[in-house]
Structure 1
Amino acid sequence: MNLHPPQTLGTPKLVNFGVSYAGDPDLAVQQAAAQLDRESICFVLAFVPDRLDHDRVSQALTRTLPNAPVFGCTTAGQITPGGYENDTLLLVAFPRRHFRCASSLIHPLKQMSIEATALQARTLADRFQRTANWNRFAVIFADGLSKQEDVLVAALDAGLGDLPSFGGSAGHGLAFDETYVLHGGKCHSNAALLLLVETDLDFTGLEFDHFMPTDRQLVVTDAQPEDRIVTEINGAPAASEYARLVGHDVSELSPRVFAENPVLVRNHDTWHVRAIQQVVDGNSLAFLSAIENGLVLTLGQGKEILQTLEAELSVLGPEGQRPDFVLGFDCVLRRLEIEQNEVISEASRILSSHRVLGFNTYGEQHRGVHMNQTFVGIAFFPPGRTLRP
């Protein structure tokens, strides 16, 4: 399904982009790349729809953009200048005038060493020569089915210190079968990409959801943490107890029900969503974030999602200006809720008007925390005084 919301209210000037709806990977890359200013590129981010063969896309990108490093991932949807899309190859080109980068592939993710991963991140940062008066941040793309994002982002945060980090877990539509990150001209599973970016632009970080905690709690009383599977909640079969609490039968549980009835975990004064992926083995629940025995979860209650989206994206720069663009990582479960409520066109209009470019994820990363059902992003402003993220 291709979505075509109202025309965007202006396009970014500090980056350029290309989109293609072609079903052939080679043609899609040719069409999208033809819209880029190839002479000015520092690096390109590629967000690949699930209908395109990821290996053919990466090979075509190498042939078509031989002088530009391309990073990216497979997605559960794209955010283009027109808003939400499902079948669009999106390329975002970051020009040398405003950006520099260094990258590293982290592989494998399973059985990864926390100490070695932290050292890898620290070494990359130390070797990335600094430019006077430019600012730095990190972008993380991870295999969204690795079940290692929590450990990964904690290790990277330890290695990067106070460097702000933002990211998303790769997706593959709603199949939840395989996901890939793109680095070095190839697609990699069981891997993550760490991209360090230096810029002379002002930027500020965004992180928001639209949920508040209720008084209904779920205690994980039996789990398989290594597989993110909960078999028992409140002493009862996990799926049955969750279904009872949200007013459904187990047979009715689906990604849409999970999206509208999330469970939250408290981290100091902040609540983060621990999203449920699916029912497994008849009465267990598979999660998209870390779980463990004894973990206390709280059912969340939604606020108005469009009002929250509009309000949170209405960030202003140091001189009161709107962002030139927002690089956004938006959980696919948020989009499912928006589709279920039949407000996809309105949401796309909001994303378009705030010049959001990015993708729908299987999970989000920000400042050493992996979360779900959240929008994480970076708003960029013209050069000037720095906004701390």
Structure 2
Amino acid sequence: MNKTVDAGQPAVTAAPLVPPVVLTGQVSWDTPSPIGQIKQIFGDEPLGFLSLFVSPKADFARIIAEAGTLFPDTDIAACTTAGEIGDDGYEEGQIIALGFPSSGFASTSLLIENIDDLAPLPLIDRVTLERVKLQEHHPEMISGFAFLLVDGLSRAEDGLSATISPALRDMPMFGGSAGDGTDFEDTSVALNGTVAQNAAVLTLVRSRYRTKVFSLDHLVPSDRQMVVTGADPGRRIVKTINAEPAAREYARIVGKDPEQLDRLTFASHPVVVRIGGAHHVRAIQQVNSAGELVFFSAIDEGMVLTVAAPQDMVDHLRSKMLGLSAHQKPSVILGCDCILRRIEAEQRQISRELSDVMSSYHVTGFSTYGEQIGALHVNHTMTGVAIYEEED
């Protein structure tokens, strides 16, 4: 202990410095040694796991190589982003880092390649084995979660999430799909120096701290429905709705000019599908040259889609954050936030207010091309994990 003594004053005992539950840091993508700067921010605290969310402006391979050199004994999972979430909420051009100290966390990470051609049983066996080993080696850590980073252009998130989920048993899973700003051209994930496309990184985490995995969206289903009557599920394309050309029929139902459909339209008039008693968004990415609708997640013929209306995004997020803070405010929230939420916020000119809410509740993470929650791949949501200071 350190003691400070003033003449004529009693000795004052200084409290020992206690490291944060999770270390967070961010640097600009053009910093000469970005990971070196992160290393300085984090200090010498031993890490069990390091997660990096890297702006598409940065040289992703160089960032990953530098991270491997400076954190040689740490599992490092990373991905490119569609924007970052940092100290000031929505950010651009940043490298976001979350370090999980080994004093409070234990983890194991798997690189899953060729996810568009999965062999389900070997993957289930692999995940199960790693989960059991992690639990057996750290019985004192009873809280936990699984964190999935996926190539956002793979179009394979639906099958991957559905395959992994049963092997996790009671370990809740969330995650996000790697992005490329708004370009949709080049997305990557990485694990321990290996950069990959058409791949995913699954990290299983045990913790001595209380954790809560969550998913939220601000959308309310309406009474306007449509049926997918023609589709190409492999490419997530809807050709016809109600036996009419898809884009034209969608525009008619939401009251828009079919020639003026854009990202704001899709963000403001999303469609949802009912699964297991709840509604989940099936977000539209774009209209292709054939007048078909390209979706961010799985779609198939016969699917009934319901148009949803957005609630006030700021009030809704604040309410959900208050809910997560009912017992104790989280020390940090690792969040995967759909790019459509960011686009909607920008178009409605509420980005600053939304960022203020995220900042005040220590939300750190990235904007995605889709989110994972349990066995589902969804859109227009924020999924994440709240991590608290109290031990579980």
Q: TM-score range by the shorter chain?
A: over 0.9
Q: Which residue of 2 aligns with 1:8?
A: none
Aligned AA (2:279):
W
SS in 1 for 2:114: coil
CA deviations on 1:201-221 (whole Å, 9 max, x unpaired) are 001122110111111111110
Gaps of 5+ in 1: 1-11
C-alpha distance in 2 between matches for 1:162 and 1:13: 27
1:196 corresponds in structure 2 to 204
- Equivalent in the alignment of 1:6: none
Counterpart residue type for residue 159 of structure 1: A
- Structure 1 counterpart of 2:174, one-letter code: F
Secondary structure, in 3 states, of the residue corresponding to 1:321? coil
SS in 2 for 1:45: strand
Q: 1:51 aligns with which of 51, 54, 57?
A: 57
Paired residues for 1:46-85 under 5 Å: 46-85=52-91
SS in 2 for 1:158: helix
Q: Which residue of 1 aligns with 2:285?
A: 277
Q: How does 1:284-363 map to 2 (within 5 A)?
A: 284-316=292-324, 320-363=327-370
Counterpart pick for 1:213 among 221, 224, 241: 221
Partner of 1:136: 144
Corresponding residue SS for 1:35: helix
Are the equivalent residues in 2 in contact too, given 1:15–1:95 (CA < 8 A)? Answer: yes
Q: Within the alignment, does 1:112 sit opposite 2:145 as a pair?
A: no
Q: Hey, what does 2:20 align to over in structure 1? A: 13
Distance in structure 2 (CA, Å) of the matches to 1:360 and 1:316: 20
Q: Deviations over 1:188-238 (max 9, x none)?
A: 100011100010000112211011111111111000001101111111111
SS at match of 1:171: coil
Question: For residue 203 of structure 2, what is the amino acid of its counterpart?
Answer: L
> What is the distance in 1 between the residues matched to 2:54 and 2:224?
39
What one-letter code is carried by the residue in structure 1 that aligns with 2:342?
Answer: R
Partner SS state of residue 314, structure 1: helix
How far does residue 98 in structure 1 lie from its aligned partner after superposition? Answer: 0.6
Unaligned runs of 5+ in 2: 1-18
CA RMSD of aligned residues (A): 1.5
Q: Give the CA deviation at 1:27.
A: 2.5
Residue number in structure 1 paired with 2:33: 27
| Mapped partners of 1:66, 1:121: distance in 2 | 24
Aligned match of 2:12: none
Corresponding position of 1:365: 372
Q: Which amino acid aligns with 2:319?
A: A
**Partners of 2:169 and 2:156 in 1: how far apart?**
20
1:3 is matched with none
C-alpha change, 1:317 and 1:349, in structure 2 (3 Å) is closer
- Contact 2:26–2:95 (Cα < 8 Å) also in 1: yes
For residues 237-279 of structure 1, what are the alpha-carbon distances to aligned partners after superposition, in whole Å with 9 as ceiling and x for unaligned? 1111111222222332222211111000001221100011111
TM-score, structure 1 normalization? 0.92
Q: CA deviation at 1:383?
A: 2.9
Which deviations, in whole Å up to 9, do the C-alpha atoms of 1:278-337 show, x marking residues without a partner? Answer: 11133011111100111110001111110000010113568x321111111110100110
Q: Distance in 1 between matches of 2:20 and 2:163?
A: 35
Instruction: Report the secondary structure of 2:33's partner residue.
Output: helix
Q: Is the 8 A contact 1:201 1:381 kept in 2?
A: yes
Aligned length: 372
Matched with 1:162 is 170
Structure 1, residues 148-190: CA drift from partner, whole Å, max 9, x if none? 1111011001211221111111111011112111102122100
DSSP-derived class of the 2:42 partner: coil
Between the aligned partners of 1:49 and 1:42, the Cα distance in structure 2 is 23
Task: Give the stretch that moved more between structures: 65-74 or 362-371.
Answer: 65-74
Structure 2 Cα separation of the partners of residues 80 and 109 of structure 1:
30
1:132 & 1:118 partners in 2: Cα distance?
Answer: 22
Superimposed CA distance per residue, residues 101-157 of structure 1 (whole angstroms, 9 cap, x where no aligned partner): 001111110111222222221122123234233122111111111111111011001
Whole-angstrom distance in 1 between the partners of 2:99 and 2:80: 17
Larger radius of gyration: 2
The 2-side partners of 1:288 and 1:110 are apart by: 15
Q: 1:268 aligns with which of 259, 268, 276?
A: 276
C-alpha distance in structure 2 between counterparts of 1:224 and 1:116, whole Å: 28
Q: Letter of the aligned partner of 2:331 in structure 1?
A: D
Aligned identity (percent) is 37
